[in-house]
A = this chain, B = another copy of it.
Amino acid sequence: MRQLAELAAALSLEFRGDGAREFVGLASLETADAQRLSFVAGKKFVAQLDSSNAGAIIVHPDFLSAWSGDCLISTNPYLSFAQATWLFDDRPAPTGAVHPSAVVAEDAQLAAGVTVDANAVIEAGAVLGADVWIGANCYVGAHAQIGARTQLRPGVVVYHAVQIGEDCLVHGNTVLGCDGFGFAPSAQGWQKILQLATVKIGNRVEIGASTTIDRGALHDTVISDGVIIDNQVHIAHGVQVGEQTAIAGAVAIAGSTVIGKRCTIAGQAGLADHIVIADDVHIGGQGRVASSVTTAGHYASGSNLQPIKEWSRSAVRFGQLDAMSKRIAQLEKRLEALASTSEKSGS
C-alpha cells in the first residue's frame, strides 16, 4: 500500500486531493479501480477520464480541468507513470548469496553482494561486480566481466571474455558472445574463421529474452550505453549500436553494420551487413535496410496487407512493373506524336 502523498514525494510531483488515499498498484484508465493509480499519456486519452474509476491519475497541468478527482500533476505523465511502476515493484529479490548448487571457479572474482542462483556456472577468471545477480542455470564464461548491479535472468549464456557494463538487465536464455557467422569458401567447403574478438556492452543496457549477440572476428561487437534490445533479436559480429538506440523484437542486424544514436528499429526489420545508419533514424516494422541511411528520419519498406485475391493481383503486377513503366513511356511518346500530328492537321 502506498499513500498518494508518498507517491507524490517519491516522484517529486505535486498532488491534488486526499494525500492519505491508499494505492495497491497501477492500471490503465479503463481498468483502474479506486485503489489504483492511472495516467493520461496524451491528449487523445483525455476523453477516457469521464468513465475512469481510477483512485487517482497522473495528469499534465493542461488537462487538470478534465479530472475532478485526486491526481499527481506532471509535465510528463508517461515518464512519471514509468517511474511510478518502480514504487510497486513486486519482483523476487536477489538473495545476495551463492547457492550451494552453483559451480563457481576458484579464481572467479565476486564483489560484495553478488548473488549466484542455483545451478549457475561461473568459469575461471570471471569478474562479477558488486551486487551482480546471476540467475539460475546461467553460464558465465572464462574471464567474462560483468559490471556492478547487472542482472542476468535464468538461462543466460555469456561466452568467455565478454564484457558487460553496470546496471544492465539481460533476460532469460539470451546468448552473448557466440561466434559470428564467418567462413571463407574453399574447394573443401566452408573454412571457419575463428571469432577472436568479443562483445562489449555498455552501462544501463537492457536485452530481452532469447536474443543473440555475436562476438567479433577481428573487432568487437559494441552495444553502447543506454541501448534497449527486445526479444529474439540477432546482432551479428562486429556490429556497433549507438547510445540509446532501441531495437524491437525479432530484428536481425548483419555483420559490421554501424547504427547511430537514438535510432529506433521496429520489429522484424533487417539490416544488411557493412552499412551505416545515421543518428536518429527510425525504421518501420519489417523494414528491409539493404544500404546505408545517411539522413535522420522515418523510413519504411514493404507492402500493406490485402485480402489474398487482391494481393495476388498486386504481386503479379509487381513482377511486371518494369514493363508497365515502359508501356507508360511508350504511351507518352505516341501521344506526343499524335498530338503533334493532330495539331498540324488541325492547323
Contacts and interface: CB of A to CB of B under 8 A. Distances in A.
Interface residues of A, number: 139
A338 B335 contact: yes
Contacts of A160: 91-92
Interface in A103-134: 103, 117-119, 121, 123-124
Given A157-B173, A335-B338, A234 B236 contact: no
Contacts of A67: none
Contacts of A155: 137, 139, 155, 157, 173, 175
A55 interface: no
Protomer copies? 3
B327 A322 contact: no
A55 to B, nearest CB: 14
16 contacts: A28-B218, A82-B182, A91-B160, A91-B194, A99-B103, A137-B155, A154-B157, A179-B206, A181-B228, A181-B248, A189-B226, A252-B268, A267-B270, A297-B308, A300-B312, A327-B332
B301 A305 contact: yes
A305 B283 contact: yes
A236 B249 CA distance: 8
Interface stretch (A14-22, A43-51, A284-292): A284-292
B136 A139 contact: yes
- Top 3 closest pairs, chain A to chain B, by CB: A317-B321, A82-B184, A85-B194
A192 B27 CA distance: 16
A62 interface: no
Given A157-B153, A184-B79, A232-B234, A218 B27 contact: yes
A328 interface: yes
A218 B78 CA distance: 13
A209 interface: yes
